[in-house]
Structure 1
Amino acid sequence: MGKRLNSKHKIDRRLGVNLWGRPKSPINTREYGPGQHGQRRKKPSDYGTQLMAKQKLKGYYGNISEKAFRKYYEEAVRRKGDTSENLISILETRLDAVVYRMKFVPTVFAARQVVSHGHILVNGRRVTVASYRLREGDVVEVRERSRQIPLIAEAINSNERDLPTYYEMDSSGFKGTVVRIPKFDDVPYPVHMEPNLVVEFYSR
């Protein structure tokens, strides 16, 4: 088992949820955490509940570092409007998240990898930074020479996930446009997310 796959499965078991809704998640057969004490679950405190909400959201987007995640929270606070909605908008406009949503790859971890390896173009230019932020109207596509990569070709034709309504895909399937920045209710999370608890966690 590869390092990324192993880490992804550990996240699922540690949090006790099938975070990405995948059929191969180990939580489907073992609904307890890893390690000899994994089956001992007690009712969490308010702090524990908030921490779990943060870990779920942070883990979902490829286990973003704590430093980067806190910066996103601080940016969300500075913006006008609801902080939790702002946080989701920031996370959903990361290039790796968009590549994953557009079904160019099967996982957000794979999205980070294909971006860093130079397989993705934004508005015709190659971008290799997974945290690159997109705006409405931006066009994201797989480089023509990369479209035969089995990982990408299989993901494009997969029925495991539906394409969100805030994107428009070219008929070729390898190009998509960001139609609008999504709200929290628009995002098709396979598990219950609570960004309001994340905000409470950081505002303690």
Structure 2
Amino acid sequence: MSISGISSALFTPTAGQGRRGQGAAGTGQAAETAPPGTPAAEKNLTSDQQSQLRELKKTDAEVRTHEQAHKTAGGPYAGSIQLEYTTGPDGRRYATAGEVPIDVSPVRGNPEATITKMEVVKRAALAPQNPSPQDRAVASQADATKAQAQTELRQSRSGDEQDGNAQSGGLLQVNALQVASNYQRAASVTQPAFNVVAISA
């Protein structure tokens, strides 16, 4: 069971489950007197076939639950569930592997959106109760992409702050010069001419 990234990642089959033909494939045939998939057909199975059928039913439920967890958590970035089937000894098809494609590419020119997206991708990768090794690899890829976006965002904000400080410093300097100039003009206009007289006793 897996999740597959449109940009490269796949949620892969869970441990113990193979791709098509590698799982618990049913090779036995139900009795010819009962249509495939009916309770009567199951009753006519050998004990080995019945054991195989129970395993197929269990795997089918696990695969569907696993892939649905990826799909639900992946939201708008997850594609449709893709299942692979094995025909059981009762003539029915059972899901034995599956994957969910998911977009793991960064949002071009928008590190904030990339960070948010990678958080969703990681949740989707780890959503099943037992994530596969490939699921964990997708989560790690999302972490790496998120970290890169965070670095880009910090650099962008640092650059903006430096530009803002430079502009602010320039304004302060201009204002200080203007105040000094105004003070000098005011002093020259308002300063009265006094004659200093020394008074002695």
TM-score under structure 2 length normalisation:
0.19
